[in-house]
Amino acid sequence: MISSNPVNDVAERGERIVRPVGSLFEWAIDNFNGLLVGGLVAAGIVGLMLIVRWFGRRLIEKHPDPNSWKSVIGHVLARTTVLFMVAAAIDIVTNFAPVPARLQRLTDILFIIAASFQAAIWAREIILGAVRSRVGENPGESTLGNAMAIIRVLVSVAVFALALIVILDNLGVNVTTLVAGLGIGGIAIGLAAQGIFADLFAALSIVFDRPFRRGDTVRFGTTVGTVERIGLKTTRVRAVSGEQVIISNTKLLEQEVTNVADAKVRRVVILFGLVYKTAPEVLEDLPRLADTIVKPQKNCRLVRALVTNFGASSIDCEVVYDQRTNDPDVIARTRSEILIGLAKLFRTERIDFAYPTQTTYTAAPDGTLVMPWAPPAKTTEA
């Protein structure tokens, strides 16, 4: 049997009917239960978000250092906006109480906009917090701290542009052309400024990989100096000879860089040669002789002292010791003191250093070799 009342047919199928109301008061009376439940749920969620935001502010107060991850989480939670709370509350209420389709659409649009921008704000805070924890806001801690303003702009533009695309897509706008245009424009800008972007990414890799920091002594190529500034495009190093060396970040990372500051122990090698007349017993006694000079030096430990080779005009030897310091001036002074000490000790022990020489042997008329040095004097017994 087919019913003649279409309203009853819809009611029997369990579908929700939005009846026209004469006033807002009548609509509220008719949907009191739904509004009450929706309002309680919305109030609970808004209250929870307010507690989360308060907790984020407390984290910031307890951990004022912006480089700590607890402070980063606090900044993320504290940036929960009131607009997002209101939009979420309205959307929840309209889901529990029947409202006109246009009003429902407006609340959905409001929630999409608020949620997209809120997600962009959270993403920006997380990204900037991660960069800040590595870079540091204080230029004294990291020379890229001055670049945080530019990084903020780039990150903000990226996340809010993505949020705008999400909003337009949810509103039914065809964003394919827009995304393609942005992609083509990005490629064109990238090709035009590829050198700048290469140095920028190299600077960021220095920040995150940390091969060296400001104040470290580094060696690359023929340059040895202290890092004074790491910029977005160049790194400036104060050479030991006093001049400032400026090199692009890309070229700097393309070559081998030695970070001298990370060396906890410096190994120093002293090479010298002794004359061939040196007695083998003296050569065997080299470790003891060298230890008497190296051991009194502060933070120094003898590694080895031995003969390494028979050279063209000398018996080649080396003294190797470790010194626990990173100060190049201290290392240079200690090396000088050890060299002077070895020179004094060898003079006392009558051990002669060798220098490039050439010995010519001649023969007497009878074929006897004439030695190039005088024979030792014979001692007469008293």
Residues contacting 229, CB < 8 A, separation 6+: 143, 214, 235, 236
d(CA 38, CA 28): 13
Q: Are residues 47 and 172 in the same domain?
A: yes
Within a domain: 186: yes
Q: How many domains does the chain have?
A: 3
Residues contacting 155, CB < 8 A, separation 6+: 124, 127, 128, 131
Confidence at residue 216, expressed as pLDDT on a 0 to 100 scale: 84
Q: Are residues 178 and 39 in the same domain?
A: yes
Instruction: Give the residue ranges of the chain where pLDDT is below 50.
Output: 1-22, 137-143, 382
Mean of the per-residue pLDDT values for the chain? Answer: 77
Residue range(s) defining the domain that contains residue 209: 198-262
Sheet holding 223-230, edge to edge: 244-248, 234-239, 223-230, 217-220, 257-259
Q: Are residues 125 and 272 in the same domain?
A: no
| CATH number of 283's domain | 3.30.70.100
Confidence at residue 7, expressed as pLDDT on a 0 to 100 scale: 42
Within a domain: 53: yes
Within a domain: 66: yes
CA-wise closest residue to 49 among 172, 41, 131:
41
Confidence at residue 144, expressed as pLDDT on a 0 to 100 scale: 53
**Backbone phi, psi, residue 21, to 5°:** -115, 150
Within a domain: 374: no
186 three-class SS: helix
Q: Are residues 90 and 126 in the same domain?
A: yes
CA-wise closest residue to 351 among 274, 295, 269:
274
CA 30, 33, 36, 40: dihedral to nearest 10 degrees? -150
Q: Are residues 46 and 181 in the same domain?
A: yes
Q: Are residues 174 and 57 in the same domain?
A: yes
Q: Are residues 101 and 137 in the same domain?
A: yes
d(CA 81, CA 305): 71
* Segment 32-40 long-range contacts (CB within 8 Å, at least 24 positions apart): 34/96, 34/97, 34/98, 35/93, 35/96, 35/97, 37/96, 38/92, 38/93, 38/94, 38/95, 38/96, 38/97, 39/93
CA 198, 203, 207, 212: dihedral to nearest 10 degrees? 120
Q: Are residues 202 and 316 in the same domain?
A: no
The label of the residue with tokens 């040095």 reads 373
- 193: which DSSP letter? T
Q: Are residues 179 and 113 in the same domain?
A: yes
Within a domain: 375: no
Choose one of 171, 192, 213: the last residue of a domain.
192
Amino acid at 231: G
Within a domain: 368: no
CA-wise closest residue to 136 among 69, 210, 67, 207:
67
Confidence at residue 31, expressed as pLDDT on a 0 to 100 scale: 62
Confidence at residue 340, expressed as pLDDT on a 0 to 100 scale: 95
CB 135 within 8 A of CB 145: yes
Q: Are residues 249 and 112 in the same domain?
A: no
Angle between helices 194-209 and 101-135 (to 10 degrees): 70
- 263: which DSSP letter? -
Q: Are residues 206 and 140 in the same domain?
A: no
Q: Are residues 168 and 188 in the same domain?
A: yes
Confidence at residue 82, expressed as pLDDT on a 0 to 100 scale: 81
